[in-house]
Amino acid sequence: MARYCLDFMCLHTSKFEFIKPKIISALFIRKSQILEMIALSNKRYGYILISDRKWWNRLCKRHEYNDRNYVFVRRNRVGPCEAHKLFFYVKKPVMQIRGVADFVERLTGNHKELWKAYGHETCLKTFNEYTNFLQGRQIATFIRFTDLNEFMNPIPARIMYRILGTSRVPRGGKYLNRETVNQLTVGRRSQVGKVQPKGFR
């Protein structure tokens, strides 16, 4: 956009020297900021969340066939601030990426206020269960997402690690660039279906 503005001024201004240097500088800075935002978006295009079988099963059971928002609860200030896709890696004994969803937002704050506003979107049945899960922490993170899909052909850990180029995923999760997201989803789009309420064993 900045290049377009400069070209336009060059064509329609008889004396280019009348254009103030500050304006030109601002335009180039703006272009640089836009490019940085695009690069950051591609770098943080996806995110892997680590879950255990219990919470994944609950998510599957409460899922209905619509695009309502759901919440993945984390202790303290962890999880993606921005992303497009969320991948759900179910740890031992499953050790597979079981599903993918569209990221909505990350909310971090007082655990009581978050529960009051979004507790109904979580997989936790009661406030007491929620506080027990937080283990006494006063700050919680709610990762909201929609359009949850389960891979009919899950991605085993060995393939996931090969694609990621690492031997482990941090407990707090991991950002994925756009290329990695494509590698995890290519060839699986036709094998992705809505999560069934029964989940998996």
Give the pLDDT score at 155.
Answer: 95
> How far is C-alpha 60 from the geometric centre of its chain's CA atoms?
19
**In terms of C-beta distances under 8 Å and separation of at least 24 residues, what long-range contacts does 66-69 make, across chains too?**
67/146, 67/147, 68/121, 68/146, 69/104, 69/121, 69/144, 69/145, 69/146
DSSP H or E stretch at residue 46: strand 46-51
Alpha-carbon span 98 to 88, nearest angstrom: 6
Map residue 195 onto helix, strand or coil.
Answer: coil
Q: Where are the domains of the chain?
A: 2-43, 46-194
DSSP per-residue codes, 118-173: HGGGSS--SHHHHHHHHTT-SEEEEEEEEEEEEEEEEEEHHHHHHHHTSS---TT-
Alpha-carbon span 157 to 48, nearest angstrom: 12
Q: Beta strand 96-110 with 139-156: parallel, antiparallel or unpaired?
A: antiparallel
Phi–psi pair at 137, nearest 5 degrees: -75, 140
Question: What is the number of other CB atoms lying within 10 angstroms of the CB of residue 88?
Answer: 25
> Which residue has 């909505």 as its token pair?
104
Give the pLDDT score at 61.
Answer: 82
Q: Could you tell me the CA-to-CA distances from 77 to 97, 137, 141, 172 in Å, in that order? A: 23, 11, 6, 10
| Tens of pLDDT, residue by residue, the chain (201 residues) | 444 444 434 444 444 444 455 555 555 556 566 655 555 568 999 999 999 999 999 998 877 655 588 999 999 888 999 999 999 999 999 999 999 999 999 999 999 999 999 999 999 999 999 999 999 999 999 999 999 988 989 999 999 999 999 988 998 999 999 999 999 988 664 344 555 444 433
Is the separation of the CB atoms in 79 and 143 below 8 Å?
yes
Give the CATH class of 46-194.
Answer: mainly beta
Give the pLDDT score at 44.
Answer: 94
Phi–psi pair at 2, nearest 5 degrees: -60, -40
Alpha-carbon span 87 to 169, nearest angstrom: 12
Cβ neighbors of 187 (< 8 A, separation 6 or more) are none
